[in-house]
Amino acid sequence: MTLMLRILTFLCLSVPAWATFISAEEAYNNQQYPQAFSEFKRIADTENNPRAQYYVASMYLNGFGTPQNEAEGLKYLQHSVDQEYDLAQALLGYLYSEGEAVEQDKVKAIELYEKAAAQGNSSANLNLGAAYYTGDGVVRDVEKARAYFEKVSLTDTPVVGRYLGDIYLNDANMTDYKKALRYYSIAAEAGDLAAFKELGQMYQKGLGVEKDDTLAQQFLLYAASEQHAPAQYILGLMYANGEGVKRDWITAYAWLSLASNQKLRVAQEALTHLTPSLSLSDIDAARRKALEIQQNVFGKTPKPTIESQVEEAPAQNQRVVRQRLPRRRRR
């Protein structure tokens, strides 16, 4: 839907309906869902308004302000999609991608994401980037993934910085450690724990930056303290091998066991290899150390200061939607 069609969509609302729409959005944002649902449904039914249809669909699917009803939700969502409303296209694409409320169909998901992305929908561009980066429903294509990711505003969706950081760190044809560092910094500033873990490893290895074991440990410890299993695993390896810290097999076992408890396979394997090197008393001490970490470190480690190194050019043709939408309830 072009910008002009969007404008006409709202101009076609009568003055009372427009006032009702504003009232419905205010009720929605204030979590007064029954009132919001009633007003959105009235506009959707009488004005055939795609944005109202989208709200009604979302609320039916989530059970917000009305009993959950997937069939009705899908009906209203399809009405909105038929009018080429990008938020509806992106939501239906997500449902097909995840197999929620509909039979999973990755091809349909990609088609809907592409239609929404063509209108500048940020979440659709993000999901397309992730699909092409992982090969989920499409042939893996890192260049296409990067192109979609770069259409997403780092300011409004900082998690995309982690995806771009992964590309510039790991892809052999695009390796650029400086760019990876910058993008990870953006994501980490927004609280992305995986980005903290990656920054820690970059400082640990001196990739694109001067090697700094102290800073590496700070980044990794923060992510690990927020129960990010891969960071806990890396800390365990650091203590096991004496990399950047004094070798301490008891502390290594403690961190590896914490990561292993979160079903991280590489941590479970590392723990299996480390265990024969420890006595029973050492293992008891390591278990006490793990409890001590849980009590005194988890959730209590200060967030390291990060200096953002990215001067972002505004994303082109991006329509950023700022209203808060409820999370779907999983069946």
**Phi, psi (deg, nearest 5) at residue 7:** -60, -45
Residue 106 identity (one-letter amino acid): K
CATH architecture of 1-84: Alpha Horseshoe (1.25)
- What lies within 8 Å, CB to CB, of 7 at 6+ separation is none
Helix (H) or strand (E) holding 308: none
Query: Residue 12: pLDDT above 80?
Result: no
The predicted model gives 103-123 an average pLDDT of 97
pLDDT at 6: 43
From CA 314, how far away is CA 203, in angstroms rounded? 29
Q: Which residues pair with 319 in a beta bridge?
A: 121
Give percent above pLDDT 90 in the chain: 84
Residue 156 confidence class, pLDDT cut points 50, 70, 90:
confident
pLDDT at 13: 52
267-305 residue pLDDT tens: 999 999 999 999 999 999 999 999 999 999 999 999 999
- Which residue has 């101009």 as its token pair? 11
Query: Residue 308: pLDDT above 60?
Result: no
* CA 77-80-82 angle, 5° bins: 110
**Phi, psi (deg, nearest 5) at residue 288:** -65, -40
Domain boundaries, the chain: 1-84, 227-300
Give percent above pLDDT 70 in the chain: 87
Query: Residue 313: pLDDT above 50?
Result: no
Query: Residue 306: pLDDT above 90?
Result: no
Q: Contact 110/138 with Cβ under 8 angstroms?
A: yes
Query: Residue 322: pLDDT above 80?
Result: no
Q: What is the mean pLDDT of the chain?
A: 89
Query: Residue 318: pLDDT above 70?
Result: no
Higher pLDDT pick, 199 / 17: 199
Answer whether 0.95 is exceeded by the pTM: no
Q: Flag the least confident range among 8-17, 70-79, 100-109, 301-310.
A: 8-17
Higher pLDDT pick, 94 / 1: 94
From CA 271, how far away is CA 232, in angstroms rounded? 12
Q: Roughly what angle, to the nearest 10 degrees, separates helices 229-241 and 193-205?
A: 20
207-265 residue pLDDT tens: 999 999 999 999 999 999 999 999 999 999 999 999 999 999 999 999 999 999 999 99
Residue 319 identity (one-letter amino acid): R
pLDDT at 155: 87
* CA 46-51-55 angle, 5° bins: 90
Of residues 207, 225, 205, the one with CA closest to residue 169: 207
From CA 151, how far away is CA 136, in angstroms rounded? 19
Q: Which residues pair with 121 in a beta bridge?
A: 319
pLDDT at 20: 79
